[in-house]
């Protein structure tokens, strides 16, 4: 059944704003909104969508927002607890998680326990705690619908799949980012400004840097392993510069099914909300003749080391992917702050992976402990 009433976590971000655009178009009710500290944007959103409750993690910003919204009936909460309260709100049937980073893990788990339908953009949730999330989803009979464009594409290509055996492999496409074709030597001194210039997508700063290092594709490989119960070796990564083919699947009979569309996140966001139905979209129509040609390449694994670091982490298993994710979150931030160079990101993440021990069983608290360790390691 498609979504009717939503809690949007991370509503002031790139995905959050585009999700609200889809809600405008589809007429869905917005019952809760959350962000970290963007009180002005949150006030505007709250006034337009009139949710029951809003939450900001930052206490000071939440106090400010409360004053701003004093003339309304909207409840204003604060802290991580406030975000989690929004995630379990009884008035919402679906939680769209577009928080950036593994801060999204706790609210995702709480929303699953409250049996909400989950539309998940926040890939770090699955990279850091995929095993916990999938186990909780199974236990509670909750479906996780992907928002990430590649995973939405794969999910769409899998509709009508006859049996488990029929799927041979997943073809995960990657734009290649702003540094496609560059050598490691050329990447040594690239600036934050260079790295933030993505050729096809307009996104938040963290994921834009992840696209430049191609860590994003490594994280997405891990995301696909959890979402579609496949082995890492059954996922082929292909660089596709135009970002028109959003991913594909190959079946046992060598038939390849792909999903295509303009690079506009409102298409996958909307599908996660309307699934299994489809409605008109605010996004534009694809004209293949106007696009003219589509190109595909093998990734340069030697220059963009993050893809194989992620493959090694998921093959090692246990908490290794959580360690890689947290190390990357910290290194990505430090690069944006001008504290480390572009190539240091992969190096730091690899070092953290090397000193993370495999452990089969783990809890949420273990993930948080690995998170602290990884961030401290990168900072020292």
Task: Establish if 227 lies at the interface with ligand NDP (CB under 6 A).
Answer: no
9 or 154, CB closer to Mg ion?
154
Smallest distance, ligand NDP to C-beta of residue 176, A: 16
Spell out, one character per residue from 38 to 57, where the chain touches ligand NDP: x when CB under 6 A holds, - when not. x------------------x
Q: Starting from the edge strand earliest in sequence, which strands make up the sheet with 256-260, in order? A: 256-260, 245-251, 167-174, 235-240, 296-297
Of 118, 121, 322, 378, which one interacts with ligand NDP (CB under 6 A)?
121
Write the burial class of residue 306 (CB in 10 Å: 0-12 exposed, 13-18 middle, 19+ buried): buried
201 or 364, CB closer to ligand NDP?
201
By a kind-dependent CB cut-off of 5 to 8 A, residue 83 interacts, out of ligand NDP, Mg ion, none, with ligand NDP
* C-alpha to C-alpha distance for 360 and 369, rounded to whole angstroms: 15
Smallest distance, ligand NDP to C-beta of residue 38, A: 4
88: which residues sit within 8 A by CB, 6+ positions away?
110, 111, 113, 114, 116
Range in contact with Mg ion (rule: CB under 5 A) among 66-74, 128-136, 145-153, 240-248:
145-153
- Give the nearest residue (CB) to ligand NDP: 13
Of 52, 148, 250, 371, which one interacts with Mg ion (CB under 5 A)?
148
Task: Establish if 264 lies at the interface with Mg ion (CB under 5 A).
Answer: no
Based on its alpha-carbon atoms, the radius of gyration of the chain, rounded to whole angstroms, reads: 20
Task: Establish if 32 lies at the interface with ligand NDP (CB under 6 A).
Answer: no
Encode 74-88: b = buried (16+ Cβ within 10 Å), e = exposed. bbbbbeeebbbbbbb
67 or 202, CB closer to Mg ion?
202
Question: Which DSSP string corresponds to 249-290?
Answer: EEETTS-EEEEE--S-THHHHHHHHHTT-----SSPPP-HHH
367: which residues sit within 8 A by CB, 6+ positions away?
102, 105, 128, 129, 132, 319, 322
Q: Of 174, 178, 244, nearest to 208 (Cα)?
A: 178
CB atoms within 10 A of CB 58: 16
Task: Establish if 124 lies at the interface with Mg ion (CB under 5 A).
Answer: no
90: which residues sit within 8 A by CB, 6+ positions away?
none
303 or 325, CB closer to ligand NDP?
325
* C-alpha to C-alpha distance for 8 and 12, rounded to whole angstroms: 9
Spell out, one character per residue from 152 to 181, where the chain touches ligand NDP: x when CB under 6 A holds, - when not. ------------------------------
Spell out, one character per residue from 13 to 52, where the chain touches Mg ion: x when CB under 5 A holds, - when not. ----------------------------------------
By a kind-dependent CB cut-off of 5 to 8 A, residue 12 interacts, out of ligand NDP, Mg ion, none, with ligand NDP
43 or 124, CB closer to ligand NDP?
124
Of 76, 103, 320, 353, which one interacts with ligand NDP (CB under 6 A)?
103
Of 66, 201, 286, 344, which one interacts with ligand NDP (CB under 6 A)?
201
Spell out, one character per residue from 63 to 102, where the chain touches ligand NDP: x when CB under 6 A holds, - when not. --------------------x--------------xxxx-
How many Cα atoms within 13 Å fall on the side-chain side of residue 16?
23
Task: Establish if 223 lies at the interface with Mg ion (CB under 5 A).
Answer: no
Q: Starting from the edge strand earliest in sequence, which strands make up the sheet with 29-35, in order? A: 75-78, 53-56, 29-35, 5-9, 94-97, 117-120, 144-146
Helix (H) or strand (E) holding 76: strand 75-78
Binding residues vs ligand NDP (CB under 6 A): 10-16, 35-38, 57, 83, 98-101, 103, 121-124, 148, 201, 203-204, 206-207, 265
């Amino acid at each position: 059944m498609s979504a009717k009433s939503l809690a949007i976590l991370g509503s002031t971000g790139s995905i959050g704003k585009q999700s609200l655009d889809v809600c405008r178009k589809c007429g869905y009710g917005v019952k809760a909104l959350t962000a970290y500290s963007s009180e002005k944007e949150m006030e505007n959103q709250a006034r337009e969508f009139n949710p029951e409750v809003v939450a900001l993690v930052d206490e000071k910003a939440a106090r400010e927002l409360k004053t701003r919204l004093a003339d309304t009936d909207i409840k204003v909460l604060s802290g991580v607890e406030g975000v989690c309260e929004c995630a379990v709100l009884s008035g919402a049937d679906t939680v769209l998680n577009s928080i950036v980073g593994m801060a999204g893990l706790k609210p995702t788990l709480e929303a699953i326990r409250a049996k909400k339908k989950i539309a998940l953009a926040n890939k770090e949730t699955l990279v850091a705690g995929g095993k916990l999330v999938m186990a909780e989803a199974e236990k509670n009979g909750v479906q996780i619908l992907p928002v990430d464009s590649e995973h939405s594409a794969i999910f769409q290509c899998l509709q009508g799949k006859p049996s488990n055996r029929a799927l041979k492999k997943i073809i995960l496409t990657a734009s290649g980012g702003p540094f496609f074709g560059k050598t490691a030597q050329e990447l040594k001194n690239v600036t934050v400004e260079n790295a933030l210039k993505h050729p096809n997508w307009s996104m938040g700063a963290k994921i834009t840097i992840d696209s430049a290092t191609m860590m994003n594709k490594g994280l997405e490989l891990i995301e696909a392993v959890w979402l579609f119960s496949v082995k890492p070796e059954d996922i082929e990564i292909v660089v596709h510069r135009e970002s028109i083919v959003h991913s594909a699947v190959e079946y046992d009979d060598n038939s390849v099914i792909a999903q295509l569309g303009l690079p506009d996140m409102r298409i996958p966001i909307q599908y996660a909300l309307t699934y299994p139905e489809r409605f008109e979209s605010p996004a534009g129509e694809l004209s293949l003749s106007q696009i003219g040609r589509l190109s595909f390449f093998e990734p340069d694994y030697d220059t963009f080391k993050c893809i194989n670091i992620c493959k090694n982490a998921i093959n090692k298993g246990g908490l290794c992917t959580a360690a890689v994710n947290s190390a990357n979150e910290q290194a990505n931030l430090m690069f944006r702050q001008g504290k480390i160079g572009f190539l240091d990101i992969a190096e730091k993440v690899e070092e953290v992976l090397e000193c993370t021990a495999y452990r089969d069983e783990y809890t949420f608290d273990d993930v948080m402990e690995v998170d602290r360790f990884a961030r401290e390691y990168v900072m020292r």
